[in-house]
Structure 1
Amino acid sequence: MTDYQPDRLDRIEALVESNARALEAMGDNVHKWQQESQRDRSCLYQAMTQLAQTQANFYERLDELDQRQDDLSRRQREIVEILKLLTQKLQ
């Protein structure tokens, strides 16, 4: 039984060391994953910011387009009125 104890202790010690290495490797992997996750989140937030800015610019351009279309419609009405007056004077 004395031969059995040292052998068993050696196996337990080896198992503990193996588990410690595995835990350390897992900790390193978790740390790397956290860094990658942080980097990915940062990129996502940056993309969301750019998207929001692009949308704001798009809506500004739509507003400008609406204003120009209103101006053109107003000018067209004025031209039509002028043409009506001219045709009335010519008749």
Structure 2
Amino acid sequence: MVNLNDESLAKGQSGTTVNILFFINILLTENKVEQGRIKGIGGATAGIIDSEEKIINYTNNLGLKSFSIGSMFQENFQLPVKLSNDANATAI
């Protein structure tokens, strides 16, 4: 969530979690997607990614370190999660 000056309203890693979950729920609601139809969640970002543990170890452009994005998705959506470095995901 950002204000009109493109400044984050939720700061830090917990703020990032709030922002991600907020926008996913908006997308699901606005597009009338039933959660039962979703088979999994996939994501890719620049930086050092631990794909097996589903952790963003470091990403400069998002300012995240040791961010357990996979467990956040699994806890909130109870779906399988795949996470990859953006360059590796592009190659696939």
Higher share in helix: 1
Higher RCO (Cα < 8 Å, 6 or more apart)? 2
Scaled by the length of structure 2, the TM-score of the pair is 0.23
